[in-house]
Amino acid sequence: METDLKKIVGQRLQLLRMEKNLTQEQMGEKLNLSTSAYCKIEYGETDLTLTRLNKIAEVMNMSAIDLFRKIDGNSYFNNSSTIGTSIGIARDCSTIKIEASEDLRELIKANSKMIDMLCKRIEMLENKIQ
């Protein structure tokens, strides 16, 4: 896969994972990968096989076709109209183009879930310290 395509696929898989309230560690375990290996998928640093994408679809409780549709952009990104907003969501601050306000809402929703999850983890760790 081309580097940009790998990053876009990784970013969209990240959104799907967060939507399912799964951590990168949990995804790695479910896919029989190390957390580091799974992170490389989300960061666009590795090529994905159809077999691996099919396994990711199973973990996400969807068909491979539905996963491909979401990766292709039918759920998160609308390719018809351009507003031109760019938002960085990858580790290396690369940007993706957000095509419609609904896409931005989905991205905010996914990031809000991640923030909530991290706040709960912080609270849990603080309780363990006390």
| pLDDT > 60? residue 122 | yes
- The residues spanned by each domain of the chain are 3-129
pTM exceeds 0.85 = no
- Per-residue pLDDT tens digits for 37-94: 999 999 989 888 888 989 999 999 998 888 888 877 644 443 333 333 334 443 433 4
State which H helix or E strand residue 51 sits in. Answer: helix 50-59
CATH class of 3-129: mainly alpha
